[in-house]
Amino acid sequence: MLLIDCPFCGQRPEIEFRYAGEAHVLRPIDPRECEDEEWAAYLYRRRNPAGDHAERWHHVHGCRRFFNARRHTVTDLFSGSYPAGTPGPECEAGQ
Amino acid sequence: MRFSALTLLRSAFDGQSRYPHQWRKADPRPSYDVIVIGGGGHGLATAYYLAKEYGVTNVAVIEKGWIGGGNTGRNTTIIRSNYLFDESAALYDHALTLWRGLSQELNYNVMFSPRGVLMLAHTVHDVQSIKRHVHANRLNGVDNAWLTRAQVAAFCPGLNMSPEARHPIVGAALQRSGGTARHDAVAWGFARAASARGVDIIENCEVVGIRRRIDGAVAGVETSRGFIGARKIGVVTAGRSSQVMAMADVRLPIESYPLQALVSEPTKPVLDCVVMSNTVHGYVSQSDKGELVIGAGSDAYVSYSQAGSAHVAAEAIGAVCELFPQFARMRMLRNWGGIVDLTPDRSPIIGKTPVPGLYANCGWGTGGFKATPGSGHIFAHTLATGDPHPIAAPFSLDRFLTGRLINEAAAAAVAH
């Protein structure tokens, strides 16, 4: 089980959280204006790296706030978490 | 060497000592007509059907580890075809048809055992959803039947049918023609049959890049054993599709998650069918070695760790003990994770990519094993002719652009 560092509550077991996918996926400002390609990329295409991954977590059985964390997807080791809305860390391209 | 009753009898007298290697250990040639990246069941089946059905024998299967050492050796070996949508039913039923004759076709015992796949209903919602599946399957000519509570108890006597159970069983769907097969034998049988038809199987050779021509089409693959040229490349790399496709600058609508399974200590025959339950979320069958093979749900987060979190496996054990309280004192021997490539609609991607000469057969998610021969068969058609097989056509990559999804995610027998 992962130990996840909630920026508001500290380290808590994974079962208190809900995973919410890749972080920093920006929604096109006006979906009516964007190309299908751009909309499909927003909806479906993900980095899915074997390496550092910035991702959203929801502390659903705790403070109930969303936040972002960086985790290495091969080792599952976290290297920091930060409030949602702040810029993402540098992630290496991965394998 | 062709297997027969005679060879088995002879081997009984010489200590099983005269079996030759079942496929050639090939060294890479400078170039091939088709390179299949990934030596799992799907990749090997693709190569086999390319050689057999389409006469394309200048083919290499490139595998970074050993044959069948990835997800082919990590799944729970369940075979069924009772999917909801027309496209999926056609795809998986095509595979089921091929499974029936596969041991004879490959002259290799894949131990296909159509022992019946039981999907339990515990709630009113389960009954409605499962009956809908049964009717849809019937309209598509796919074998599936509704069993009443009494019929379930008769078909699988070990189940806890008590109305006092936390989630009492009220009925089930049964696909009698579904069952299990021996996963290693599937990989080995396809490798052997493909090799016999001239396909080069190159193990311990990792693809590290895809080289492109000036016009953008594929030129070949850079590997840990040097450059190998190819006119066409088929990517059949479950669990690593995003990385391999990124080598050609293709970003897929795929995320990779651990999916866990575990086996118990071997025991005498206690369970002669496959039992699945969506509501308590577990599935179980008994292998011919006697181990209970238990499948868990996928983990919550993207990962390549092939481990997953312990609580996910524990929940699967809890579910199985809910269905079969008599298993509660059995010990579990092994627990592992495989990395599954999930698409947003939980249906695979089979066909062309934006890169000329580069084809994808990936995104089989949590249930690719059952499709192994069918997947190889239709992907071989796509690779040989350049056009998708009619069954594969709806599973194109561009459905994520057009919005024509095949949303088995909402219809899965066991939600992942």
- Taking contacts as CB-CB distances below 8 angstroms, the residues of chain B near A74 are 303-305
Question: What was the pLDDT predicted at B410?
Answer: 63
Q: Which residues pair with B293 in a beta bridge?
A: B263, B285
What is the DSSP-derived secondary structure letter of residue B69?
-
Domains of chain A and CATH, by start: 3-83 (3.30.2270.10)
Q: What is the pTM of this model?
A: 0.95
Of the pLDDT bands very low, low, confident and very high (cuts 50, 70, 90), residue B297 is confident
| Domain residue ranges in chain B | 28-108+182-254+345-415, 117-177+256-342
Question: What was the pLDDT predicted at A91?
Answer: 64
B33-72, pLDDT tens digit by residue? 999 999 999 999 999 999 999 999 999 999 999 999 999 9
Side-by-side strand order, sheet with B332-342:
B145-148, B171-175, B117-121, B274-277, B282-286, B292-298, B255-264, B332-342
Question: What was the pLDDT predicted at A41?
Answer: 94
Better pLDDT: B80 or B15: B80
Question: Closest to A44 (Cβ–Cβ): which among B253, B301, B304?
Answer: B253
Question: Closest to B309 (Cβ–Cβ): which among A2, A75, A95?
Answer: A2
Q: Six-digit token pair at B296?
A: 């868990």
B80-92, pLDDT tens digit by residue? 999 999 999 999 9
Domain B117-177+256-342, CATH among 3.40.50.620, 3.40.718.10, 3.30.750.24, 3.30.9.10: 3.30.9.10
As a whole number of angstroms, the distance between CA B400 and CA B82 comes to 24
Q: Are A5 and A78 in contact (CB under 8 A)?
A: yes
Residue B145 C-alpha, separation from nearest chain A C-alpha, in angstroms: 35
Angle at B282 between CA B276 and CA B285, to 5 degrees: 55
Listed residue (B326, B266, B324) closest to B291, CA to CA: B266
B348-384, pLDDT tens digit by residue? 999 999 999 999 999 999 999 999 999 999 999 999 9
Residue B243 C-alpha, separation from nearest chain A C-alpha, in angstroms: 7
Of all residues in chain B, the one with the smallest CA distance to A1 is: B309
Task: Given the cut 0.95, state whether the ipTM is greater than it.
Answer: no
Question: Closest to B242 (Cβ–Cβ): which among A14, A44, A48?
Answer: A48
Of all residues in chain B, the one with the smallest CA distance to A15 is: B311
- What average pLDDT score do residues B146-162 get? 97
Question: Closest to A44 (Cβ–Cβ): which among B304, B307, B344?
Answer: B344
Residue A40 C-alpha, separation from nearest chain B C-alpha, in angstroms: 5
- What average pLDDT score do residues A42-55 get? 95
Q: Which run of H or E residues covers position B388?
A: none
Cβ-based burial of B299 (10 A; exposed 0-12, middle 13-18, buried ≥19)? buried
Residue B181 C-alpha, separation from nearest chain A C-alpha, in angstroms: 30
CATH topology of domain B28-108+182-254+345-415: FAD/NAD(P)-binding domain (3.50.50)
Question: What was the pLDDT predicted at A85?
Answer: 86
Residue with tokens 């990329």: A41
Within 8 A by CB and 6+ apart from B225, the residues are B27, B28, B202, B205
